Amino acid sequence: MRVTRSFHIGSVPIGGGAPVTVQSMTNTDTRDAAATLAQVRALAAAGADIVRISVYDEACLPAFGQVVDAAGVPIVADIHFRADLAVGALERGAAKVRINPGNIGSEVKVRMVADCAKAHGAPIRIGVNSGSVEKDILRREGGVTARGMLDSALSHARMLEAVGFTDIVLSLKATDVPLTVAAYEMAAAQTDYPLHVGVTEAGLPGDGNIKSAVGIGSLLLHGIGDTIRVSLTGDPVPEVAAAIDILKACGLRRNYVNVISCPTCGRTSVDVTQIAQRVKRELADIRVPLTVAVMGCVVNGPGEAREADIGLAGGGLAESGTAEGGYAMGAIFERGKAPQRVTGDLAGELIARARRIAQEKTQGKR
Ligand code: SF4
């Protein structure tokens, strides 16, 4: 795990070994406070720890303040170029500001923003994208490189450091996944600022999920990344589920149900898809680590279930998956217990037993 500075974004700690948090960003018109607040609430309900909102002109500020007051999660102001908007957002309760000091205009304005952020206990994120690297760096590097992206970020950071401000978060997002990973790896090796990790303009859901999972996931597996954002075109709410799934896959969020299911094949003797979907849906509220396996047959069922807390394999212990009379048959394998034959509503039986295990875990009996 990388050692970083630590501070807070509102009530949420970042860096210093704090849990990796999930961020997203609204895409409503910020001036429409009701619509923006509704989206912030939807993102928070989906599991976002922090939400970012664009503040692009003065008319955004009153609505921004209203949203901050009612949001219930820390709100970050996303600002380009204008120190006055950064100050306005901080005065209205922004928990963090994303602004690049090199774009503000003068040292006086940089100091004004830094002093205001410090007075309000808010960090500043410096966000470099592959498209925002300065021309002189591009000339020196012969194009966009990890070195160039990091130099750009560090040159912005130096302006804040020069006015005594160090509660800085860095991001170095590229659209290219290997470049993104290389830039963050270099930043992790050369700075101790917490890192906001993401692949920028990752695209539509589907392609974007895969790019984000590969880029963010490979960094997280190497202990790099303090807060993450999956960027998907369209409704931002699915970004949150995607980010949480990345954290779960990296072993960084464990208090959920992990459904293991086989890919199915010619031996499949129960409806694995339907059972696995129902298990995932009906156990979605569980907040203890619980692994549930759904396997199409007994060939791999017992082996997989050994890793799981509980598993179902189609086909009973030796017979086919459909008993005489046409009802489904399977075997439930519970860790530490002898396998048990079940018939009829296999999914319902599995869910009931899994819920009992979850309850025992909650009560500390397991
Ligand atoms: S668990 Fe059984 S049904 Fe599922 S893929 Fe493996 S062999 Fe096929």
Q: Are 193 and 5 in contact (CB under 8 A)?
A: yes
Which of 38, 48, 50, 97 is CA-nearest to residue 74?
A: 50
Among protein residues, the one with the nearest Cα to ligand 1's atom 2 is: 297
Residues with CB under 6 A from ligand 1: 262-265, 267-268, 295-297, 299-300
Would you state the structure tokens that stand for residue 179, as one six-digit string?
Answer: 């470049």
Question: Do residues 360 and 326 make contact, with C-beta atoms less than 8 angstroms apart?
Answer: no
Span from the CA of 278 to the centroid of ligand 1 (angstroms): 19
Q: Note the pLDDT of residue 325.
A: 47
- For residue 80, give the nearest of 127, 121, 115 by alpha carbon: 127
Reported pTM: 0.89
Contact assessment for residue 168 and residue 124, using Cβ atoms and an 8 Å cutoff:
yes
State the closest ligand 1 atom to the C-alpha of 300, by its place in the atom list counted from 1. Answer: 1
- Exposure b/e, 173-198, CB count within 10 A at least 16 = b: bbbebebbbbbbbbbbeebebbbbbb
Residue with tokens 């509980």: 310
Give me ligand 1 centre to Cα 218, in Å. Answer: 29
Query: Which are the contacts of 365, defined by CB distance < 8 A and separation ≥ 6?
Result: none
Q: Give residue 277 CA to ligand 1 midpoint distance, Å.
A: 17
Residue 349 Cα distances to 25, 257, 310, 323, 337, angstroms: 40, 16, 11, 17, 16
Q: 101: number of CA atoms within 13 Å, CB side?
A: 31
Give the whole-angstrom CA distance, residue 78 versus residue 126. Answer: 10
Tokens of 339: 């396998």
Domains (ranges, CATH) in the chain? 7-249 (3.20.20.20), 257-361 (3.30.413.10)
Distance CA 339, CA 219 (A): 40
Q: What is the pLDDT of residue 318?
A: 46
Give, in degrees to the nearest 5, the angle at Cα 150 between 238 and 98: 50
169 within 8 A of 226, measured Cβ to Cβ: yes
What local confidence, expressed as pLDDT, does residue 305 receive? Answer: 66
Question: pLDDT digit of tens for each residue in the chain (366 aa)?
Answer: 788 999 999 999 999 999 999 999 999 999 999 999 999 999 999 999 999 999 999 999 999 999 999 999 999 999 999 999 999 999 999 999 999 988 888 999 999 999 999 999 999 999 999 888 999 999 999 999 999 999 999 999 999 999 999 999 999 999 999 999 999 999 999 999 999 999 998 899 999 999 999 999 999 999 999 999 999 999 999 999 999 999 999 999 989 999 999 999 988 889 999 999 999 999 999 999 999 999 999 887 677 667 899 999 998 544 445 544 455 789 999 887 888 899 989 999 999 999 999 999 998 877
How far does residue 256's CA lie from ligand 1's centre (Å)? Answer: 25
